[in-house]
Amino acid sequence: MALTTGKPSAQRQGFELAMMSPALFLLALITLVPFFSIIWMSFNDVSLMGGLAFEFSGLENWKRVFTDPDIRSSWLISLVYFLATVGLEMVIGTVMALLVYSLTRGSNIIISMLLIPMFIAPVIVGLLGRFMLDPSHGLYAWLLNESGLFDGNILGSVGSAMVAVILMDVWEWTPLVALIVLAGLASVPEDTLEAAEMDGAKYSQKLIYIILPSISNILLVALLIRAMDAIRFFAIIFITTNGGPADSTKIIPIRLYDIAFRFFDLGYAAAVGITMLVFSIMVATAFTKLLKRQETSS
């Protein structure tokens, strides 16, 4: 059988496009229409009563987005939350993966156990966290109190509530990072490691000069996946603190939920939602560029 090489003919391209067009049309319908609707909504006051109605309000919603102190404060809290969760998950996940990779026996069982938190729905993690940290009957609250480490109300105090929700997210998603890094560790060149060992390199030197550079791409992928998820984090905070106390855990998705589904200020919510989308695209673009640069250099 003769193999065809080179670019497909224009006729064939046309045929492929015709075959794909229903799917492309459907995809456009379910993504582009809502996308442009949301952009249009952000320039309107939207009313739900008696059917959806738009009243053009110009740049009013956008002006509010950039002048509202509550939105500013929520972005700041989101940034703290984002850096803390993603940072901790990357560091702890990498360490976990290295430890598991170094095991000679029982690694499969350990991996299975490590992955358990990841399979629990975030809502359940929130409910579990609320239960364990309850000041009257929560096990963790009791342990912290008995050990003298913390005797306040964990979810009811500014500071500790933020730490608690960050740790809940870290507990749930660090295993995902560990799993991705573990997959990457399999690609670290054994011969290079052996050569380094022969030259008397210490573990820390192998880690810094061989292992981490070898898995840098995979680390970036893990970072990208967790970063995208952290931006839209919602369930655990919604269940445990609902943004409190004193708005100290009111990250931007919680604020957006309030504006959209409690106040039904849908025009303003659309504007806030678009800023979240832009932020996500910026983060994703930055990581993708890094990844490409990494691939080019290697």
229 counts as binding another protein under rule CB under 8 A: no
57 counts as binding another protein under rule CB under 8 A: no
Nearer to another protein among residue 95 and residue 246 (C-beta): 246
Window 233-262: residues binding another protein (CB under 8 A): 241-248, 258, 261-262
The residue from 45, 60, 134, 229 that contacts another protein (CB under 8 A) is: 134
How far apart CA 279 and CA 100 sit, in angstroms, is 35
The residue from 39, 52, 113, 286 that contacts another protein (CB under 8 A) is: 52
Taking alpha carbons only, the member of 162, 141, 140, 187 closest to residue 251 is 162
Separation in Å, CA 258 to CA 4, 7, 46, 89, 296: 57, 52, 15, 28, 44
45 counts as binding another protein under rule CB under 8 A: no
> Segment contacting another protein (CB under 8 A): 27-35, 48-56, 113-121, 280-288?
48-56
136 counts as binding another protein under rule CB under 8 A: yes
Half-sphere exposure of 143 (CA within 13 A, CB side): 5
> Segment contacting another protein (CB under 8 A): 106-114, 131-139, 177-185, 216-224?
131-139
157 counts as binding another protein under rule CB under 8 A: yes
Please say whether the beta carbons of 170 and 92 come within 8 A: yes
How far apart CA 215 and CA 218 sit, in angstroms, is 5
Nearer to another protein among residue 14 and residue 159 (C-beta): 159
Half-sphere exposure of 33 (CA within 13 A, CB side): 6
Determine the size of the site formed for another protein (CB under 8 A).
31
264 counts as binding another protein under rule CB under 8 A: yes
Cis peptide before 69 (omega within 30 of 0): no
Nearer to another protein among residue 43 and residue 54 (C-beta): 54
158 counts as binding another protein under rule CB under 8 A: yes
33 counts as binding another protein under rule CB under 8 A: no
Residue 188 has phi, psi (to 5 degrees) of: -70, 125
CB of residue 115 to another protein, shortest distance in Å: 30
156 counts as binding another protein under rule CB under 8 A: yes
137 counts as binding another protein under rule CB under 8 A: yes
153: alpha, beta or left? (left if phi > 0; alpha if psi -120 to 50): beta
Strands 53-56 and 44-47: antiparallel
67 counts as binding another protein under rule CB under 8 A: no
The residue behind tokens 């560990």 is 178
CB of residue 161 to another protein, shortest distance in Å: 8
How far apart CA 168 and CA 233 sit, in angstroms, is 12
CB of residue 155 to another protein, shortest distance in Å: 4
Cβ neighbourhood burial of 169 (10 Å; 0-12, 13-18, 19+): buried
Chain residues binding another protein by CB under 8 A are 48-52, 133-137, 152-158, 241-248, 258, 261-265
